[in-house]
């Protein structure tokens, strides 16, 4: 595997289910991100793990819970979601720090989530 | 308040002609800008970037122009090819944000290049 992988690619879940999205980066990067892309809206940054520090967007509901066990893996745990949470969830990674400008992010293919 | 705006949701051009995609921003702290391209069923891929110390950056058929006073940047693709048909996202970041790499994205512009 190369780049950034995400599983599953598609997920349909009920509002009472608990599921997890998985992301893995094979690029040796030190920062990982979760984004949400809803129809006709810009990419919304949800969570950042950078240099082992978690930076959380305070507007993300608690029904979304990230986990970053190491610099290569990122999870997004989902529970009691709402239909409006249906969207494309994208994972990304980048190499941060070093005193230079922000580097470009490498994105996974996304998980298309439908909440019924 | 949306800090990065791409006011044209779609653009259609003929193969071989120039494609110009526009992006406006409001946050004066932004001084590093990136363009990403996204095909259906794939994640965005990095295309080209520009720092505010420059007003132009060129990479092959792709050139990004930055007008700091107008808080405006544009991506020129010339000549356009059918394979360039995709959604193009503009992103902006403060360059000091090296430890988070957080970028603010625009809505995207869907480019269609007709053969």
Q: What is the pLDDT of residues A64-112, one digit of tens each?
A: 999 999 889 999 999 999 999 999 999 999 887 666 566 788 999 999 9
Q: How far is A16 from chain B (nearest CA, A)?
A: 27
Q: Are A102 and B31 in contact (CB under 8 A)?
A: no
For residue A57, list chain B residues with Cβ-Cβ distance below 8 A: none
Which pLDDT band holds residue B97 (cuts at 50, 70, 90)? Answer: low
- Which residue in A101, A108, A109 is closest to B98 by CB distance? A101
Specify the pLDDT at position A56. Answer: 66
CA atoms of B11 and B3, how far apart (whole Å) = 22
Find the DSSP H helices in chain B: none
Q: Which residue, among B58, B115, B63, B105, has the nearest Cα to B85 in the 3D structure? A: B115
Q: How far is A66 from chain B (nearest CA, A)?
A: 16
B47: nearest CA in chain A?
A: A104
Residues above pLDDT 70, as percent of chain A = 90
Which pLDDT band holds residue A54 (cuts at 50, 70, 90)? Answer: confident
Neighbour-count burial for A24-52, b at 16+ CB within 10 Å, e otherwise: bbeeebbbbbbbbbeeeebbbbbbbbbee
Q: Which residue, among A12, A37, A7, has the nearest Cα to A114 in the 3D structure? A: A12
CA atoms of B87 and B96, how far apart (whole Å) = 28
């Amino acid at each position: 595997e190369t780049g950034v992988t995400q599983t599953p690619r598609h997920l349909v879940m009920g509002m009472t289910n608990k599921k997890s999205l998985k992301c893995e980066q094979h690029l040796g990067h030190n920062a990982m991100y979760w984004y949400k892309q809803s129809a006709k809206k810009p990419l919304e940054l949800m969570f950042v793990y950078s240099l082992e520090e978690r930076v959380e967007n305070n507007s993300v509901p608690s029904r979304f819970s990230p986990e970053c066990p190491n610099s290569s893996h990122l999870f997004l745990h989902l529970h009691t979601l709402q239909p409006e949470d249906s969207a494309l969830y994208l994972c990304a990674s980048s190499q941060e720090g070093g005193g230079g400008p922000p580097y470009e992010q490498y994105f996974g293919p996304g998980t298309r989530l439908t909440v019924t | 308040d949306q800090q990065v705006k791409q006011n044209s949701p779609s653009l259609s051009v003929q193969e071989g002609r120039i494609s110009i995609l526009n992006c406006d921003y409001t946050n004066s702290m932004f001084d590093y800008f990136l363009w990403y391209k996204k095909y259906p069923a794939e994640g965005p891929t990095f295309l080209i970037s520009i720092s505010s110390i420059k007003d132009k950056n060129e990479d092959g058929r792709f050139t990004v122009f930055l007008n700091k006073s107008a808080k405006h940047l544009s991506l020129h693709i010339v000549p356009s090819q059918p394979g360039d048909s995709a959604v193009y996202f503009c992103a902006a970041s403060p360059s000091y944000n090296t430890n988070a790499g957080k970028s603010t994205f625009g809505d995207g512009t869907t480019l269609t290049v007709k053969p």
